[in-house]
Amino acid sequence: MRTPTKLLIAGLLTSTALLAGCSSSGDDSAGEHGGSDDHVHIDPYDPAKLDATDTATTAMQVILSWQPAVDESKSDALRRARPWLGGDLATTVDNDNGGATGIRPDRDWAAWKESGDALTASCSKAESTPASPEGMRTVVIDVSCRQTVLHAAGSSTNLAAQTWRTTVTRIDDGWRLTDFRYQ
């Protein structure tokens, strides 16, 4: 048993010596790097950093991404979207207390739940979006979304694209989705 232990210690000492040799070069400025160890977290989905379109598409992607095997209903996805919600929609979610938010269940929910499927959504601004005057604090954005059923066996099925009319409102710390409805 001593030989493996000696080899392990020798390997560790060699690695340490190599690392120490690589980091010291005699000229302190030669090894300087412009990096930082601040560990700053950059969140591309931070609601305070998104414009109106990105808020609408991000919120709808979350709202339409479901985990029937884990979620009680589609309301769970709406609760996950809470950071991007505002107005009456946010109030509805905040006052839900774990119950259903009134979202109609999908006819395939039980089958997806039984088979362990999950659904993910990909959304983008639709061409049908009405023009908004510059400087508006409330805008309407049509969002085209395609859900994909991710089957537990590894395959996937794309569902038909759907267009959703969203209303997005500017508040002090960014844009928030305040309403959505199927077109």
pLDDT in tens, the chain (183 residues): 444 444 444 444 444 444 444 444 444 445 554 555 555 545 668 999 999 999 999 999 999 999 999 999 899 999 999 999 999 999 999 998 765 556 777 889 999 999 999 999 999 999 999 999 999 999 999 999 999 999 999 999 999 999 999 999 999 999 999 999 999
Domain ranges (residues) in the chain: 47-182
The contacts of residue 66 (CB under 8 Å, 6+ apart) are 74, 76, 77, 106, 109, 112, 118, 119
Q: What is the CATH number of domain 47-182?
A: 3.10.450
pTM for this predicted structure: 0.75
pLDDT at position 1: 47
